[in-house]
Structure 1
Amino acid sequence: MTASRPLPAPDFVGYPEVRRGIRALLQGRPGTYRRPVPACPEWTVEDLLGHLAEIAERVFRRHGGTPPPDRPRDVPGLLDRWDDVGEELDRRLADAGGRSGEVMVMDAFTHELDLRAALGVPPPVEHLAWAPSFEVLVRGFSGSVAGRGLPALRIRTTGGSAWTAGAGRPSASVTAPAVDLYRALAGRRSLGQLAALDWSEPPGPWLPAFSWGPFTPPPVPGA
């Protein structure tokens, strides 16, 4: 897999921006805390936030930290808990360098997009987590393409970014707006939505590759 342009390093730089973005989304919207999140069918908004705080604590412990005393497990408490752990985790990831936090950042940013969709808020035009999270998703999808013995696929955004997924020279391409392509790689687009993207060849051979890692296309169209 090759990227058409270099990505910022280190990859965790977007994590504070995700925390700020989600806090801004939820503050002043107390009536939404029990709202379902369609991209995560078993979760409410509060459940999604609990997941993010739990993942931060898990990574924090992995880097030798001891989480601070617990806070109330409601949305305001979870936001504060996430910041308590996240601010220290930011420093530890900076010391570790490299890709230590890249999957966590991708997971958090993906869930920020899930939350925005659930609340009817458009995705951000610019975000520090966009590029590193895209790289994680393309790398995972590339492994799925190669692991299934499929021909390499050129992935393009309408904004001009491009990657090659799989091994060898691409035999086809798929093009979509950045947010749609990101959501497709993160298991947020149904097979019908995936097939409706701009493909240079019939997409059938590559559709199974969108099931990889924790991601599987939903049975109904996603947002």
Structure 2
Amino acid sequence: MFDESYRSGHARVAALVAGLGEAELARVVPACPEWTVHDVLAHLAGTAADVAARHTAGMPGPVWAAAQIQQRAGRTTDQLLAEWDEHAVAAAEAIEDRRVPVGVLHDLLVHEGDLVEALGAAAPPWDGWAGAARLVVRQVVRGIRGTHSLVVRSAGTEWRSPDDPGERHGRSTGAAATTRSTVTVDFYELYRGLHSRRSRAQMRRWQWDGSPEPWVDALPMFGPRDDEQPIPATG
């Protein structure tokens, strides 16, 4: 599953950026305002090359990523895509075999969304990312503990935090949760929000039954943000 998701993401990004002009390549990516479209592509190509060569020390830290971008600063789109093509199969196999964290796949899928939104394109097709995204949602929601409980409804599925009264039904646990919030949200938007690609205000505009606090701060895995992000058209 993970290898297929990586390969399909690679193919979609390659199609998205092929033939971009200099102005588009130099466009700042709103989700990563220190990077341009060219920088994101260089990072993705560099990640595949590093994974294939087992140069993973420092992954996925900022120094590791910055070196990838710096080393490829003068390369054309065709050169970056050719490098990525060369190493994509090895990277996909390494993810599937767990020789590198599955976070390498999510790095690709999240940056695909970054590029889509920077370039004003449509959201990626459901079958390219939803399977991997479900695992992230489950991991995040299942990791919630405390007197605040959360129910997430999206993509025809419901996830409950472990201390939610409905989740605890029929088994003995500690103190009952005193506050419950339920959020119903488009699955692409949920995935973007969990990866810190939506602002607090944007997350507050999701459909909430109960308070969105503290979730607009707690759910984003890389911390909350306040800069509004572009939202692509979804099919």
TM range (shorter): 0.7 to 0.9
Q: Distance in 1 between matches of 2:99 and 2:130?
A: 15
1:219 counterpart = 2:205:
no
Amino acid at match of 2:92: D
3-state SS of 1:80 partner: helix
Partner of 1:189: 198
| Shift, 1:138, TM fit | 4.3
Q: How does 1:88-167 map to 2 (within 5 A)?
A: 88-94=90-96, 96=97, 100-140=100-140, 142-143=142-143, 145-146=144-145, 149=146, 151-157=148-154, 159-167=155-163
| Structure with greater contact order relative to length (CA < 8 Å, sep ≥ 6) | 1
Distance 1:35 1:49, change over 3 A: same
Give the conservation status (yes or no) of the 8 Å contact 1:11–1:99.
Answer: no
Amino acid at match of 1:22: V
**TM-score normalised by L of structure 2:** 0.75
Structure number with bigger Rg: 2
| Shift, 1:195, TM fit | 1.3
1:15 counterpart = 2:22:
no
Q: Distance in 1 between matches of 2:107 and 2:136?
A: 10
| Range with bigger deviation, 98-107 or 176-185 | 98-107
| Shift, 1:21, TM fit | 0.4
Give the conservation status (yes or no) of the 8 Å contact 1:211–1:217.
Answer: yes
Partner of 1:87: 89
Q: How does 1:31-50 map to 2 (within 5 A)?
A: 31=22, 32-50=24-42
| Shift, 1:75, TM fit | 2.0
Q: Distance in 2 between matches of 1:63 and 1:93?
A: 14
CA RMSD in angstroms, aligned pairs only:
2.6
| Shift, 1:184, TM fit | 1.1
Give the number of equivalent residue pairs.
Answer: 201
Give the conservation status (yes or no) of the 8 Å contact 1:137–1:186.
Answer: no
Partner of 2:170: none
Amino acid at match of 2:219: F
| Shift, 1:46, TM fit | 0.5
Give the conservation status (yes or no) of the 8 Å contact 1:173–1:200.
Answer: yes
Amino acid at match of 2:8: E
3-state SS of 1:152 partner: strand
3-state SS of 2:151 partner: strand
Give the conservation status (yes or no) of the 8 Å contact 1:187–1:211.
Answer: yes
